[in-house]
Amino acid sequence: MSDDVTLIYVTAPDVAAAQAIGRAIVAERLAACANILPGMQSLYWWQGKLEAASEAVLILKTVVGSAERVIARVRALHSYEVACAIALPVSVGNPDYLAWIRAEARG
């Protein structure tokens, strides 16, 4: 069980924005790693209207104890009025990799 490790799922308007957010959070040791997935297509309701947008996905690997600080930092760095930043629990994983996340995400 690895209930102390979590992934923070973030959407960004483009790869450059995801890189800037990810770099800041990893540099501040709030997360061990940032993965950026370009080219996501989103459909969503915003202000009463169905919208479509191209975005990038940012996945931050951290510990539960840092999750709220990571989300607060994402909100401060993000250009969206309401940024997607949600914690997803990790229930099982490579023990060595999970230990690495714990050691590096010590913000």
Query: What's the CATH number where 44 sits?
Result: 3.30.70.120
**What percent of the chain shows pLDDT beyond 90?**
95
Residue 100's CB is within 10 A of a number of other CB atoms, namely 14
The answer, as to whether pTM is greater than 0.85, is: yes
- The number of domains in the chain is 1
What range defines the domain where residue 46 resides?
5-101
Compute the mean pLDDT over every residue in the chain, rounded to the nearest whole number.
95
Q: Retrieve residue 11's tokens.
A: 């959407």
In a domain, 106, yes or no: no
